[in-house]
Structure 1
Amino acid sequence: MKKIVSYIGSHRGQKSGTAQLAEKMCEKAGAVCDTQVTWEIMTSDQLQLQACRGCCDCFRTGSCLLDREDDGGLMKEKLLEADFVILGSPVYALQVSGQTKTLIDRLSYWLHLFRLAGKPGIALTTTSSSGEAEVLGYLIRVMAYMGVRVVGGYSVFTQFPGVFQNPKDVERKAELGGTVISQYLSGEKRLVSNDRLENLFHGMKESIIRGRVMKPAEYRFWEEHGYFSHESYQSLMDAIAANTHVPGGSR
């Protein structure tokens, strides 16, 4: 059984246009995939997430103190358990929603750890007029820093919150995205690295080595997970797919 986990940064819950798009994609993937697929679409109204305090303890210790007080740890567990990740946000003032940014801020130390390495993912956004390129670009970049191999990015237009301008376009993109999800979950397609991921991996490896005294938790994570032994990000993804990477580590 394969699992899709989606986080949609909208307090409109399942009425959110972005959440509706994610649901349609998951339904399509479940219908066409030759392996059993389950999915969970988390919206920001379902979670209690405090804003990052900027203490930087997560970079030094490898964990966030706020996870003990809210649902940050729960969301991290769900993402780590996922076989496929969907990250979506409506466009708010030419950027992601505040709720989406709160989650990303709370996950910021994951950007040094490639914590979602080996997972394929898709970025989604909805807008009534503009900003879709900026938001998709930002989501895709953040996901890549977390180690996700982003295999798709989709935007659709809404007439009103939760009401689409062009339902046929929504169905078309849901079918495209669902098919892509199915191809990766079934093993029909293999994860292939790209220049962005390779550059991030090599650059971060050098940064982690240089900062091992100031940020020992990051160095320890890379060491425990065997990242240093890989000369390329493709090699790391292949090891994860073959289940030969070194497991363990904290959230």
Structure 2
Amino acid sequence: MAYNVDRRTMTRGQAEAAQIDVGLRSYMLRVYNLMASGLLLSGIVAVMIDVVPVFRDLFYVTQGGQMVGLTLLGTLAMWSPLIVLFGAMFMMRSASAAMVQSMYWLFVALQGVGLSVLLQIYTDASVVRVFFITAAAFAGLSLYGYTTKRNLSGMASFLVMGLIGILIAAVVNLFIASSMLQFIISAAGVLVFAGLTAYDTQRIKEEYSATMDRETMSKSATWGALSLYINFINLLQFLLYFLGNRE
């Protein structure tokens, strides 16, 4: 009799584990779909600004077909994703799932304006090539974060310190314009955002709970997609410094 009870208990536990596993796969697929859709929207915005003169003139000052500066609207558009991001973080607890998703789509659309700068600096062919290199690297890093049994939370403090260091160095380099410092920033950026990709994937996976209600799960998936989106975009920009061909 005891044997039969244990067997029923184990079977019930296995069924619950299988249910959680199916739910987790569905949840992670939702996160990746949101992230990929965000990249697609950003790419569409960037390409439209690059190829349509009317849109390009709204954001860029050009001379002889080359970008020489930003218009007032272009300057505002460059900084607006940060404003949206900080606003979303401030409202994180109180915002509804619909509001969080709206801010996500607004963020990625505005980010497309910033990405259009890359199409002015680098050749289209090299941007496409590095995009696929970034996608392959991102997929490998995210898969590692998803499947590894190693706890990556210990990396978090080092990655945050590295990110702060990159931000400070980038601000300093705005004034001194050192090519060596830019090289160091880009190299550090690749390492930091590679680590963040693996870490964030594991964190998003571990934050999943089968008991989350639909509203909470939607918000959690959107925040997860935003984290991975930011990692991908930064990884792309830093890799372009090393692998991109300038116009």
Q: Please report the TM-score for the alignment, with normalisation by the length of structure 1.
A: 0.28
Q: Which has the higher strand share?
A: 1
Higher relative contact order (CA 8 A, sep 6+): 2
Q: Please report the TM-score for the alignment, with normalisation by the length of structure 2.
A: 0.28
Q: Which has the higher helix share?
A: 2
